[in-house]
Homo-oligomer: A and B are copies of this chain.
């Protein structure tokens, strides 16, 4: 009935879905928008689409196709400009862009979301709004009011009220970790091999503790400790990468927990959403900070795409 594409920067996931929204088949390819096959431009998108889902479309020409994520960015197949908060699946459907798939049906591409707070710089998401829509569909009680935390290269903390995303903040936690681990002077002390469980926990907990004691502006100083703790033997070198991870994740929690405190104390649950291993790391850190997550969900992108398709009248 529906072909749904979760199309990000690094990966492309394709779902064949029934009229009731059930996933019949799942495929995955390392064909994110920065890793497309030749030819360059629109042709690369058409080729990647045909490779992953061509047989699904050819075997039933009535199948609709929907996509979400970076595929709708300025570097995507066609740009689906950001919609403003508050945004729900109807907003996303109403502002979706349409592009010929090259195989018959058009592809409907969902836009990202732009949040412009009164007192700070704007923030953007592309793809996370789909996962949030899927989570709300899977657990309708969360649509009334909840904080969704989506860990990743650019972690998102999004507040939902009345089924709509009303505000969110991005933290560059995953990217900072990767960039500092690979390219910084403290990173040179970190062995490439992963540490054993004991050293990992030692480093991670020490990083969380340092972050928890943060005053404003401290991160640039705290990061240097990833070098000095190794130089002076206070932490085994094996533990330094986890120290860095705990420090960066802990800084995210210090900031985002403060920003979400009022609504959380007023009863809004905290929901971890995304890759299970990464969510477990966040769950552990949240416990250390005295703010345990209320729920953890994964694989909600297909359901979110189906909801947008339904709002657009495709299913």
Contacts and interface: CB of A to CB of B under 8 A. Distances in A.
A59 interface: no
Contacts of A248: 220
B176 A220 contact: yes
B220 A251 contact: yes
Interface string A229-270: 101101000000000000010111111101100000000000
A170 interface: yes
11 contacts: A120-B225, A123-B228, A154-B224, A171-B221, A172-B220, A179-B184, A182-B183, A216-B216, A216-B218, A219-B251, A221-B252
Interface stretch (A13-21, A86-94, A130-138, A207-215): A207-215
Contacts of A210: 120-121
A223 to B, nearest CB: 5
Given A124-B228, A217-B258, 15 more contacts: A121-B228, A121-B229, A122-B231, A124-B231, A170-B228, A171-B221, A172-B186, A176-B220, A176-B223, A179-B183, A216-B254, A217-B251, A217-B254, A219-B251, A220-B252
- Name the interface size band of chain A: 35 or more
A221 to B, nearest CB: 5
A42 interface: no
Nearest to A248: B220
Interface of A: 114, 120-124, 153-154, 169-173, 175-176, 179-180, 182-186, 210-211, 213-221, 223-225, 228-229, 231-232, 234, 248, 250-256, 258-259
A217 B252 contact: yes
Nearest to A176: B220
Contacts of A253: 217
A254 B221 CA distance: 11
A227 to B, nearest CB: 8
A247 to B, nearest CB: 10
Contacts of A231: 122, 124
B215 A255 contact: yes
Q: What are the nearest 10 A-B pairs in CB distance? A: A217-B254, A217-B255, A121-B225, A217-B251, A214-B216, A171-B220, A170-B224, A219-B219, A122-B228, A218-B255
Nearest to A154: B224
A213 to B, nearest CB: 8
Q: Which of A172, A185, A229 has the most CB of B within 10 A?
A: A172
Nearest to A235: B121
Contact of A183 (B121, B153, B183, B224): B183
A184 B176 CA distance: 8
A184 B218 CA distance: 21
A259 B214 CA distance: 12
Contact of A184 (B121, B175, B213): B175
A221 B114 CA distance: 15
Contacts of A259: 215
